[in-house]
Structure 1
């Protein structure tokens, strides 16, 4: 608890000062609420209209969690396949890079044309966003396994499968979790972007309707919800990481 406090009080203080400055500048300069509402106005609106966006939160979380889990699993399986079959890695690695050069906002309408306005195209967008950091991180972890350990396993008569499970896979866990942390923060934003395609509910829908009505206070509510759940997902990955790789020396985590 003391360690958490020692690490957390500085960013908390910075955030407090930021919100105080924000509150002060909006009152001092008499900025209209539709242009930049004060934090107190945003909090008040959130408390008064929470019944409007609570169903949207549930819809977005369902989409984000499903996309993150499938994207992470898909990304890890691709990394394992490309690592175990070098010929595939040489052929498909450039395509992985190219897949991230197509803007999601451009690809999204095509997915709607191909798969309609249902759950599937939205899920595919999140998978596309989440799988890449997991794949790249896992590949780097497999590749950077210590050569002396792999040589020792080979000299001991270990099979390729044993070398992978005993040396390469454990070595890939720290970078893999780094990729998962990135994917976790991307998943919520990917869900919101996917909801701009024409979903019936979700934080993306709530944000779009609020923006169209010049309800800037509600737009900021949506932004803060996105930030909160992105940080929550990130924290969950950190907790899982500490449980799984606690056998590593402290300096290597």
Structure 2
């Protein structure tokens, strides 16, 4: 953990240099603001327009968190069922893979036709984006249980339920958190896409209104907000992982 913090200045420095280079190139080339605004213009708009943007940010945050929670629960339960019942895994797992080949942006209009413009189609979109990484990661984690420990518990008379909850599930926690971190970042993207279905507020709505009025600086404010929100979600999952999977992180302290 401490090593990661010490190395954190490197990407921050690279990002700062990129912003400086961006600012210089735009100013020297005299690129119009509606085409590509400089970082200073974007930062100024973020400060001045915060009062107008913050409700949209809050709306997207709530939607993404709700979708992430539902998608995570569905993904984890699906993984447990597929792991414990091999027949279902062999029958359903290929269909789960095929489901990920359908673009969400194409499926979204159908969800509006079937379920209307309410909250349900938006939650479905985020759930579809979030549940698959957790399901796959958890299934892989269940398979990584040490064979000698499994053999020992069976010799001790452990039931299938005890074997799963006391051995296989704890061993899969690092993999489950890996899937959660991926889903956490996807949830924000899924929330923005779902807001394009006809929401009254949210970053997706803010981006649509800004692009239609050629306010490129506001579009970049929305883009950076999405990035920062995804990093916050990722950091929250990482913090929970560090506290719950201590044996995995001892080498980083």
**Superposition TM-score tier, normalisation by shorter sequence:** over 0.9
Match of 2:126 in 1: 126
Task: Assess, with a 3 A threshold, how the Cα gap between structure 1 residues 212 and 246 changes in structure 2: closer, same or farther.
Answer: same
Using the alignment, how far apart are the partners of 1:12 and 1:42 within structure 2? 18
Matches within 5 A, 1:50-129: 50-129=50-129
Task: Assess, with a 3 A threshold, how the Cα gap between structure 1 residues 82 and 4 changes in structure 2: closer, same or farther.
Answer: closer
Match of 1:175 in 2: 175
- What 5-or-longer segments of structure 1 have no aligned partner? none
The CA deviation string for residues 123-178 of structure 1, in whole angstroms up to 9 with x for no partner, is: 11000000000000000001121111111111111111111112100110001000
Residue 247 of structure 1 and its aligned partner are, at CA, apart by 3.3
The CA deviation string for residues 28-74 of structure 1, in whole angstroms up to 9 with x for no partner, is: 11011011000000011111111111110111011000000010011
Match of 2:35 in 1: 35
User: Normalized against structure 1, the TM-score is what?
Assistant: 0.97
Matches within 5 A, 1:138-149: 138-149=138-149
Question: Superposition RMSD on alpha carbons, in Å?
Answer: 1.5
- Are 2:3 and 2:252, in contact at CA under 8 Å, matched by a contact in 1? no
The CA deviation string for residues 196-239 of structure 1, in whole angstroms up to 9 with x for no partner, is: 11111100000001011111000000000000000000000000
Matches within 5 A, 1:160-239: 160-239=160-239
Using the alignment, how far apart are the partners of 2:198 and 2:74 within structure 1? 26
Residue 7 of structure 1 and its aligned partner are, at CA, apart by 1.4
Residue 4 of structure 1 and its aligned partner are, at CA, apart by 5.3
Using the alignment, how far apart are the partners of 2:225 and 2:17 within structure 1? 20
Size of the alignment, in residue pairs? Answer: 253
SS state of the match for residue 63, structure 1?
helix
- Are 2:174 and 2:248, in contact at CA under 8 Å, matched by a contact in 1? no
Using the alignment, how far apart are the partners of 2:79 and 2:35 within structure 1? 46
Using the alignment, how far apart are the partners of 2:82 and 2:3 within structure 1? 40
Match of 2:26 in 1: 26
